[in-house]
Each structure stands twice: as structure tokens, then as C-alpha cells.
Amino acid sequence: MIPPAFEYHRPTDIAGALGVIAEHGDEARVIAGGHSLIPMMKLRMVEIAHLIDLQDVADLKGISVGETIRIGAMVTQHGLINDAALSAAAPILREAALQIADPQVRYCGTVGGNVANGDPGNDMPGLMQCLDATFTLVGPDGSRDVPAREFYEAAYTTAREDDEILTAISFAKPAGGYAYEKQKRKIGDYATAAAAVLIEKQGGKITAASIAMTNLSDIPVFSEAAGDALKGTDGTGAALDKAVAAMLADIDPTEDNRGPVEFKKHVAGVILRRAIARAVDRA
């Protein structure tokens, strides 16, 4: 559990970080909160010659809340949870962040690291797909935006190029009801199944529904069909069954110590039902 030797860089701005990447290419990698990368280094599953610590890059911090919400990549889970304006505007973030790891980890773990690493166990990627968020990537050729729903390609493989840094996340202030429901074995665990749900309602009928699932495939699963199944209904009965069936058709869980595929699918259905019920209730 001791990593191989590496050079440590601590730039104070994005340009500085990009400069280290330009100089060392594949041998360099940025580190945010370190709660995924450092264990991988200690297990010697990844070897990194040049580690670029982003914690002194002021431009990557801060939360701005308006009709569009923008969160700097280096905002910690603790920062998310304790931002009153953000919690008022998008309470699903606080609800989800409180289910990530434990307080000690949340002091260090960042939202940018959580979405950029491409770990299927992380909670924020599914949540960001539910919110239809956009990730801002900055590289040698400038800045570009990629929708969260198009960002994930496979486990640990994303649309981010090796010479790009994910700098911010933005999304429209969500309306209606919400729920982030997660089953885990213990505090600090990845989800056995988790569901992010946003529901808008008018006159007792659902007008918009967004559903994304976590740790049930090698990438987060935004289930458009599940959301569509709820539209125009009250979100119960046959519509709910149809939404769950649609979600189950989209996920592709694998067996691990949490249990076999059959169990995970069953729990995913239960978790989604609960999330939808709660979100509808809040809408």
C-alpha cells in the first residue's frame, strides 16, 4: 500500500496545470480530492510520474447560483452540502452528497474528481445526467463543453482528452420534485443501486421526468425511456411499472461482493420506485 515515487506539482492556475501536462504528456495526471486516485496509486494499479495537485487553483473553486448553476470542479462534497444557496436551488445535490462516503472523505472529495474519474461507482455522474448538466473541459486548444449524458464511454473512459482538465459543471436550476435514493452495504460504500429522479408536475400529471441510475452498468445510466413512461401520468400503477421495466432494460449490472445480477436488478427496481414516489410527492 505504498505508491511508487512521483514528482509532485502544485500549480496556482489552470494554465500552470496545463503546462505541466503539456510538458509530461501521458506521465502527468491531475489530482483533485485524491480519494479515488491515491488508493489506486497505493495499490500500484496506476503509476503516475507527475502528479498535479489542483487544490491551489482558485479558478476551480466556487459555486454560483442563478437560473444556471455553476460549480467549480474543486468544490468538495462538504462544500456542496454546506452551500445554503445551492441547497435551496438544487436540493437533490445536497441529498445525494450526504450519501457519498463519510464526513472525513467529503471534506476532501470533490465534485470534479467524482464526475471526471469515470468510476461507475461514483454517485455524481448519474446525478449530473439526471440534471442534464454540462461539463466544461479546458485544454491546450481552449475550452469546450460536453453534456454529462455524452461524457461517459466505459469504466474510467470518458470524453475528456488526456490533455484536458475538467474545470466546472453547470446545469439549469431544476424545477419540481426530486429524490436521490441509494442502497449501500455500509457507510462509505458504493451503491448496490442508486437512482436520481427529477419530476415536474402540472394538475396532478407528470410533465417532465428525468431518471438516472448509478453503479448498475460500467457507466452511469440515463434512462430516457423510464422518464418518458411517467409523462402524462400520476407516476403510480402501470406507469410506474413501465418506468421500472424501461430502466431495467437500460441497466447492465455485474456480479460483485454486493450480490449477483438478479439481486441488483431487483433492488434497482425497488430503489427507483421509492425515488419516483418521493420525487412525485415533492413535485
Partner 1 sequence: MNDMTPNREERVANLKGLGCKRKRVEDARFTQGKGNYVDDIKLPGMLFGDFVRSPYAHARIKSINAEAALALPGVIAVLTAKDLEPLGLHWMPTLAGDKQMVLADGKVLFQGQEVAFVVASDRYVAADAIELVEVEYDDLPVITDPFKALEDGATVLREDIADKKEGAHGPRRHHNHIFLWEEGNKAATEAVISSADVVAEEMVYYHRTHPCPLETCGCVASMDKINGKLTLYGTFQAPHVVRTVASLLSGIDEHNIRVVSPDIGGGFGNKVGVYPGYVCSIVASIVTGKPVKWIEDRMDNLMATAFARDYWMQGKIAATKEGKITGLWCHVTADHGAFDACADPTKYPAGFFHICTGSYDIPVAYVGVDGVYTNKAPGGVAYRCSFRVTEAAYFIERMIEILAQKLDMDAAELRRINFIRKEQFPYHSALGWEYDSGDYHTAWDKALEAVDYKGLRKEQAERLEAFKRGETRKLMGIGLTFFTEIVGAGPVKNCDILGMGMFDSCEIRIHPTGSAIARLGTISQGQGHATTFAQILASEIGISADKITVEEGDTDTAPYGLGTYGSRSTPVAGAATALAGRKIRAKAQMIAAYLLEVHDNDLEWDVDRFVVKGAPERFKTMAEIAYASYNQAIPGLEPGLEAVSYYDPPNMTYPFGAYICVMDIDVDTGVADIRQFYALDDCGTRINPMVIEGQVHGGLTEALAIAMGQEIAYDEMGNVKTGTLMDFFLPTAWETPNYVTDHTETPSPHHPIGAKGVGESPNVGGVPAFSNAVHDAFRAFGLKQSHMPHDHWRIWKTANKLGLHG
245 binds partner 1, rule: CB under 8 A: no
User: What long-range pairs does 23-28 form, CB within 8 A, spacing at least 24?
Assistant: 24/49, 24/50, 25/162, 25/163, 26/162, 28/52
CA–CA dist 279, 227 (Å, integer): 12
Here the cell at position 232 is 402524462
257 binds partner 1, rule: CB under 8 A: yes
Nearest CB to partner 1, comparing residues 136 and 183: 183
Q: Binding partner 1 by CB under 8 A: which of 44, 66, 175, 234?
A: 44
Nearest CB to partner 1, comparing residues 192 and 214: 192
Nearest CB to partner 1, comparing residues 181 and 218: 181
Compute, in degrees rounded to 10, the torsion defined by CA atoms 118, 209, 89, 267: -50
Region 102-161 residues binding partner 1, contact defined as CB under 8 A: 102
Q: Would you give the binding string for partner 1 spanning residues 3-32, x where CB under 8 A is met? A: -xx---------------------------
Minimum separation from the CB atom of position 155 to partner 1 (A) = 16
1 binds partner 1, rule: CB under 8 A: yes
Minimum separation from the CB atom of position 66 to partner 1 (A) = 35
Q: Binding partner 1 by CB under 8 A: which of 188, 204, 252, 254?
A: 188
The sign one gets for the Cα dihedral 197, 101, 49, 143 is: positive
- Note the residues at the interface with partner 1 (CB under 8 A): 1-2, 4-5, 44, 102, 183, 185-190, 192, 257-260, 263, 266-267, 270-271
